[in-house]
Amino acid sequence: MPYSKCISASVLGVDGKSITVEVDLSSGLPQVNLVGLPDPSVRESVERVRAAMRNSGFKFPLERVTVNLAPADLRKEGTAFDLAIAAAILTASGQMDADAFDGMLVIGELALNGGLRPVPGVLPMVEEARTRGLRRVLLPPDNALEAALVGGMDIFAAADLSSLALCGGSGDGWERLAWHPSAGNPTACEPGSSGEGAAAPDYADVFGQHHAKRALMIAAAGRHNLLLSGPPGTGKTMLIRRLPGILPPMSEEEALEVTKIFSVSGKLAASGSLVSERPFRTPHHTISTGGLIGGGSIPRPGEATLAHRGVLFLDELPEFPRSVLEVLRQPLEDREVTIARARAVFRFPAHFQLAASMNPCPCGQHGSDVPGQRGCICSPVQIARYRSRISGPLLDRIDLLVEVPRPQHADAMQPGMSTADMKSLITGAVKRQKDREQETGVAWNGDLAGKALKHAAPLQAEGARLLQQAYDRLGISLRAHERILKLARTIADVEGSLQIQTAHVAEAIQYRRLEL
């Protein structure tokens, strides 16, 4: 028959989008017209398909070939359509039975010799196919393990285009390409699949800085944003880089969310297995706005989305351009990034925990004069200009503002709490939050707001009076007032207390008193 179609898919934001690949053959000069708003990588698929079919023993039609990618008003990009275009041409030209691809999702990039190469974004594509009622998927072998993370799908893995000749119309042919979970473990996670490499080092290696360690433990327990400020060499970066070691484990739902994002970004481990460790992203201060929150003509996830359900660490915070930092204000409140384009609005999940560090001034020595060493050489104007790179509204969205001074020698010789000690307290605090989740509908104290916050964090008379005094005398904003309440709730959970005590409120207030 001169007409045929196959179902393929692309990625829109971090979600899959079904694409129908239609092929029509008509008499005329041999040429190929590819329509449906394809980008250059899709247009080049014509030459890849032509060479792959010829080198796999098939014949490319010497007719007028029209390939349409529907819906036609959605811009298409990527190489995932190669296999579907080839399959539609094969069925339209009568070289394969059209029923062979009925009810099947077809995705994969073709090499010139007919081999199949993996493509990014397979997990959301297969999820979309299952939502549409499809139950079979044909894809490259290297993507099979990733596709198996979506249950209820029959997976067929073809190493090359010539293997499709076995599947012209017989069920036995497809059975030869069937992929089974025994070929790999879809729940296994290779070390470093969360994007950061080896396991986090131990807090026992950090001597002194007990106050900062406690602040990091509280931040991890309630998923609060954190800023450490202090002179160079006091261990700010070292402390935050150990944060992944005390973060609560991800639930299965969170792991699937993170795996989908890494799949779309092409950063999933070669095994395609489930990401089980919380992401820990550390972009350089030269990053652009698009690199931080995502961008492009067809937007792709930025570092804020890659840190979803994990930590976004901004080292030397004032060195980032102010325009770049300001774009974080919306995702810190809404837990998602919204990017508007002429044809569509893209939304990327960005539920991350912000961790940042900074020096108190350009030279780093302000307020830390040490006998025998040169003190701060910055003028008041230089210090004010340096600190003004971080806006007040952004600081207002950070729960813990912690000073990390140069420790005394006696304190510096004491290791303090280890990662295991801190994680033990965090586990208890997380359990208390989970117990309240049925009543509040909120999993983490850092996300409490409105009625949920009032229900989870009632104050006794003395604690309420202390918080009112802090509001009146320190000039804190209503947002900061709310964040102090959330922080006090987490401190109480870490201490194992059902009620928020006055001491918990006082500790939460002092985390807002860093002079910037």
Residue 416 is predicted with a pLDDT of 76
- Side-chain-side CA neighbours of residue 111 (13 Å): 11
Q: In whole angstroms, give the CA distance from residue 102 to residue 463.
A: 66
CB atoms within 10 A of CB 323: 9
Element (H, E) at 178: strand 178-179
Rounded to two decimals, what is the model's pTM? Answer: 0.89
Q: What are phi and psi of 104, to 5 degrees?
A: -125, 140
Residues of the chain below pLDDT 70: 1, 168-172, 181-200, 270-272, 369-373, 409-415, 514-516
Q: In whole angstroms, give the CA distance from residue 194 to residue 247.
A: 13
Helix (H, G, I), strand (E, B) or coil at 500: strand
The two three-digit tokens of residue 282, written as one number: 């550390």
pLDDT tens digits, 354-382: 999 999 999 888 877 665 567 788 999 99
DSSP label at 377? -
Q: What are phi and psi of 368, to 5 degrees?
A: -135, 40
Residue 189 is predicted with a pLDDT of 42
Residue 409 is predicted with a pLDDT of 63
Residue 185 is predicted with a pLDDT of 45
Q: Mention every residue, 6+ apart, whose C-beta is less than 8 A from residue 444.
A: 222, 223, 433
Torsion sign across C-alpha atoms 383, 389, 395, 400: negative
Residue 514 is predicted with a pLDDT of 66
Residue written as token pair 């070292």: 238
Residue 196 is predicted with a pLDDT of 42
Q: What are phi and psi of 163, to 5 degrees?
A: -65, -20
Residue 500 is predicted with a pLDDT of 96
Q: In whole angstroms, give the CA distance from residue 483 to residue 445.
A: 10
Q: In whole angstroms, give the CA distance from residue 117 to residue 82.
A: 10
Residue written as token pair 């499809």: 134
